[in-house]
Structure 1
Amino acid sequence: MARAIMIQGAGSNVGKSMLVAGIARAARNRGLSVAPFKPQNMSNNAAVTEDGGEIGRAQALQARACGRAPRVDMNPVLLKPETDQGAQVVVQGQRLTTVRARDYAALKPQLMPRVLDSFRRLATGCDLVVVEGAGSPAEINLRTGDIANMGFAEAAGVPVVLVGDIDRGGVIAQLVGTKAVLPSDDAARITGFAVNKFRGDLSLFDSGMAEIARRTGWSSLGVVPWFAQAWKLPAEDVMDIASRKGGAVKVVVPRLNRIANFDDLDPLSVSSGVSVEIVPEGRPLPLDADLIVLPGSKSTIADLAHFRAQGWDIDLAAHLRRGGHVLGICGGYQMLGRRISDPDGLEGPPGAVEGLGHLDVETVLHPRKRLALSAAHYRPTGDPVSGYEIHLGQTTGPDAERAWLDFDGRPEGAASANGRVMGCYLHGLFAADAFRQAYLDRIGHPAPVEDYDATVETTLDALAAHIETYLDMDRLLALAEEV
């Protein structure tokens, strides 16, 4: 019979995903069979699973920490924001519907049985399930019908450890205040607490931990210092996207409003010869870019309008006139074409918009989403590439005849006649070290390339050691209960 423990946060972005990954790897290193679980997630950074669905990228990383292949049951409900007030609802890996935020509450009672079904299936055959909450249980206005935090913990009978973030300040109020606002039954489910992201001398907060324990009655599991290597691991939250100063090759990425699947950038960020600059709205694209990457988007047409509103279309054209290179991935690929048609109104009113016109291709959006783990070869060198496809629409045109990827005979991608503008639908391609080296060589900017997979594995092991050092793992595992 599996045991389970749930990590909830006293606020958003307290580091729950990273802690769960570290706890999972630490438990696995102790010889336990471990699985991650997040009942409900909200993210446009998704991963494709072997069983043909999509889950949050954080759960894919956590699965890797556990030594498991990602499965849809690890994140049965995924909300993918499409506008400020609405999101696509993905259930057990497949799109169910699109709802406005105000209407989602009415949908949640239908989702709880499927969440519990996934949880029980996942718990079969493993020793420990480490569950991650979403947001904070202190949002008691969302408690009715909750499937993400205390509602799930109650239904599944899982004890909770509450985590506060000291880096943003006010951590005593975060934790003690959470207990103060929770219904008594929910507060009783919390069996321990921890403080995350501490910088400096840990002993300075000894009295703070004692005060939290006194005021809440919860067991103290420790203070976890800031994990300096966290940036080497794939990020899920758009708030965690950051520029990384590295080597002489400068890769520039405009930060789109609905940027999606931005883990494409991670292998470039950890390459010592490459600097990655994320450009926020209101700032021009830098003149000294060697490569501009247009990333994926959850709402391609809206993000294309946002791109133009920043004047980035003018900057991109100037970059190409200076001899620069451009790569579009998924939504970014669609933007680079001459036209994007949306006859079914999947992203707004039915119609079509003009693209940036740097690739002689056109895209037609259609309702059927392609979800696939894919292996290919980079045609110029024959180097293997693997990743995933997750997109709506089909892109065709003369520049697609210059496909630069080959999926066992199926051509993929497009390139301009001079080869300086390229696009494709394959996410994750830069994780292939040989391809990354070949691509940088091809655009005339060779740079040192490290083993990306080894970097991720080494960092996960370092995170597990960090958790073992500062978090009371013995106590945490003792708090887990059979489910």
Structure 2
Amino acid sequence: MTTPMVQGATLMVQGTTSDAGKSTLVTALCRWLKRQGVSVVPFKPQNMALNSAVTADGGEIGRAQAVQAQAAGLAPHTDMNPVLLKPSSDTGAQVIIHGRAISRMEAAAYHDYKQVAMQAVLDSHRRLSVAYPVVMVEGAGSPAEINLRAGDIANMGFAEAVDCPVILIADIDKGGVFAHLVGTLELLSASEQARIQGFVINRFRGDIALLQPGLDWLEQRTGKPVLGVLPYLMDFHLEAEDAIATRQVAKAEQRLKVLVPVLPRISNHTDFDPLRLHPQVDLQFIGPGQAIPAADLIILPGSKSVRSDLAFLREQGWEAALQRHLRYGGKLLGICGGLQMLGTRLHDPHGLEGEPGSSDGLGLLALQTTLAPDKQLRTVCGQLYLESAAVSGYEIHAGISSGPALDNPAVQLADGRTDGAISADGQVLATYLHGLFEQPEACSALLRWAGLGDVQAVDYHALRERDIERLADLVEAHLDTAKLRTLCGL
């Protein structure tokens, strides 16, 4: 006789809007449960983001789920985010199922594909719910997007399929919090409304007594409890799912000025969070139409559509600005797509990122890149050739680069390979490694290379761990933990 599989509890967090606090609350709940010795796993059925991470099983998931895995004390796994959509145009995206890119689809084609994607979602959820007592799920956007209700796999469509309770979170800092909560509830079906087990209000500032009449009205109006009000956290950092975070910590007098162009399809901009939070770095993201100021270091970031983003840079005057920057002794760093832009030619024969064809690169490194259907996905470690500094990170790229510039590499990897290039004059450095600023030793070496003296070492992982702990403290102090434990089946 076979023993039936025992499935754990599933709790889902949905939001009234994008950036309402879903990722933050799931992260907080994962660490809160871990503190109590509960084995919990994060899960997001479908994610649309250009910030991604490489998993222990060699796949690709949304960056937010990798942070939630850290909060749960787990290594990231592709089952935590079975469907990832990486936009490559205003209407199309690369579709990644169980960590592997399967196709580039237009929105209408993906809508028809959702039934297949839903099966991948349910397969992942089933595996996780057998392996863990609690599955903590993050929705996407809002469940009240009427045009996306048919075939939904990201919000209530998933919740109905697995029959799980839902918490609805709203951001009071945006204004209109009661309209967001009541309006979202009203737009749901009767069965979906019944799934909402309570509300959480996020990012509140001020005297909670002044908010209490509104909370009482909300409970009377909806018949559902307010599970708590989370205060606005100052000096708080959690890696953004997609929106570029620009908040900086207080800066020292001696600062290195760093510029990053905001590309239309910029990817993995969380690479720059350690610099944004470094007390000696003044990091500026330069958007379309903005003046390009003088700087010590310019970084060309990753891109989901390298050739079109390079054309955008040229339209915005960056090519001349980079030449001027180098003439005046500035340093230039290219990461992943940025590396490819620095070469002489870019080839996309299969049309992986748009129309098939080739483009001239910036010609600052003697290398060229051809995009190939099989994406390179690796977590790596090694040493920078700068100061032999320890470095770790991850590779996510379809490009295969070749050329004499690579004979003077930037990184010696532990697996015996080399990566990237440094120009003969030492002014231009390029690498495929994302996350290279997260290791304190590598970050300090790169800042010294860029011209900063007496660098203060900053442990980015410790900063992230500190803020995850702060989130768990907020759950304990401000949410109805007895109700949460019941919802988690504890």
> Does the CA-based 8 Å contact 2:344-2:361 persist in structure 1?
yes
Matches within 5 A, 1:136-285: 136-231=142-237, 233-242=238-247, 246-247=251-252, 248-285=255-292
Partner of 1:129, secondary structure, is: strand
Cα drift, residue 244 of structure 1:
5.8
Query: Which residue number corresponds to residue 302 of structure 2?
Result: 296
Deviates more, 1:411-420 or 1:346-355: 346-355
CA deviations on 1:173-196 (whole Å, 9 max, x unpaired) are: 111111211111111111111111
Q: Which of 430, 434, 445 in structure 2 is aligned with 1:438? A: 445
Query: Which residue number corresponds to residue 67 of structure 1?
Result: 73
For residue 85 of structure 1, what is the amino acid of its counterpart?
A: T
For residue 242 of structure 2, what is the amino acid of its counterpart?
A: D
CA deviations on 1:355-395 (whole Å, 9 max, x unpaired) are: 11221211111111101111121123222211110001111
For residue 329 of structure 1, what is the amino acid of its counterpart?
A: I
Query: Which residue number corresponds to residue 339 of structure 1?
Result: 345
Partner of 1:47, secondary structure, is: strand
> Does the CA-based 8 Å contact 2:88-2:354 persist in structure 1?
no
Deviates more, 1:79-88 or 1:261-270: 261-270
1:476 equivalent in alignment to 2:484? yes
Cα drift, residue 436 of structure 1:
1.1
> Does the CA-based 8 Å contact 1:245-1:276 persist in structure 2?
no
Q: Which of 93, 96, 100 in structure 2 is aligned with 1:94? A: 100
How far apart are the structure 1 equivalents of 2:458 and 2:281? 11
How far apart are the structure 2 equivalents of 1:295 and 1:476? 40
For residue 471 of structure 2, what is the amino acid of its counterpart?
A: L
> Does the CA-based 8 Å contact 2:365-2:405 persist in structure 1?
yes
How far apart are the structure 1 equivalents of 2:369 and 2:296? 27
Identity of aligned residues (%): 49
For residue 433 of structure 1, what is the amino acid of its counterpart?
A: P
| TM-score, reference length from structure 1 | 0.96
Structure 2 residue runs of 5 or longer lacking an equivalent are 1-6
Query: Which residue number corresponds to residue 406 of structure 2?
Result: 400
1:80 equivalent in alignment to 2:86? yes
Query: Which residue number corresponds to residue 25 of structure 1?
Result: 31
Partner of 2:218, secondary structure, is: helix
> Does the CA-based 8 Å contact 1:164-1:194 persist in structure 2?
yes
Measured on the aligned residues, the alpha-carbon RMSD in Å equals: 1.5
Structure 1 residue runs of 5 or longer lacking an equivalent are none
Query: Which residue number corresponds to residue 448 of structure 1?
Result: 456
| TM-score, reference length from structure 2 | 0.95
For residue 468 of structure 2, what is the amino acid of its counterpart?
A: L
1:348 equivalent in alignment to 2:354? yes
Partner of 2:321, secondary structure, is: helix
How far apart are the structure 2 equivalents of 1:92 and 1:348? 23
For residue 181 of structure 2, what is the amino acid of its counterpart?
A: L
Partner of 1:124, secondary structure, is: helix
For residue 122 of structure 2, what is the amino acid of its counterpart?
A: L
1:3 equivalent in alignment to 2:37? no
Cα drift, residue 222 of structure 1:
1.1
CA deviations on 1:45-93 (whole Å, 9 max, x unpaired) are: 0000010100000000000000000000000000100000011111111
Deviates more, 1:24-33 or 1:42-51: 24-33
Structure 1 pair 443–178 and aligned structure 2 pair: CA distance change class (3 A): closer
CA deviations on 1:422-461 (whole Å, 9 max, x unpaired) are: 1010111111111111222223213212122111111111
How far apart are the structure 2 equivalents of 1:360 and 1:245? 40
How far apart are the structure 2 equivalents of 1:127 and 1:227? 30
Partner of 1:431, secondary structure, is: coil
For residue 424 of structure 2, what is the amino acid of its counterpart?
A: A
> Does the CA-based 8 Å contact 1:158-1:481 persist in structure 2?
no
How far apart are the structure 1 equivalents of 2:315 and 2:472? 44
> Does the CA-based 8 Å contact 1:273-1:449 persist in structure 2?
no
For residue 357 of structure 1, what is the amino acid of its counterpart?
A: G
> Does the CA-based 8 Å contact 1:229-1:459 persist in structure 2?
no
For residue 104 of structure 1, what is the amino acid of its counterpart?
A: Y
How far apart are the structure 2 equivalents of 1:210 and 1:163? 17
Cα drift, residue 353 of structure 1:
0.8
Cα drift, residue 245 of structure 1:
5.8
Partner of 1:97, secondary structure, is: strand
> Does the CA-based 8 Å contact 2:248-2:277 persist in structure 1?
no
1:311 equivalent in alignment to 2:317? yes
CA deviations on 1:201-257 (whole Å, 9 max, x unpaired) are: 2221111111111111111101111122333x3222224355666341111111111
Cα drift, residue 36 of structure 1:
0.4
How far apart are the structure 1 equivalents of 2:145 and 2:489? 25
CA deviations on 1:147-173 (whole Å, 9 max, x unpaired) are: 100010011111001111111111111
Query: Which residue number corresponds to residue 37 of structure 1?
Result: 43
Structure 1 pair 239–384 and aligned structure 2 pair: CA distance change class (3 A): closer
Query: Which residue number corresponds to residue 55 of structure 1?
Result: 61
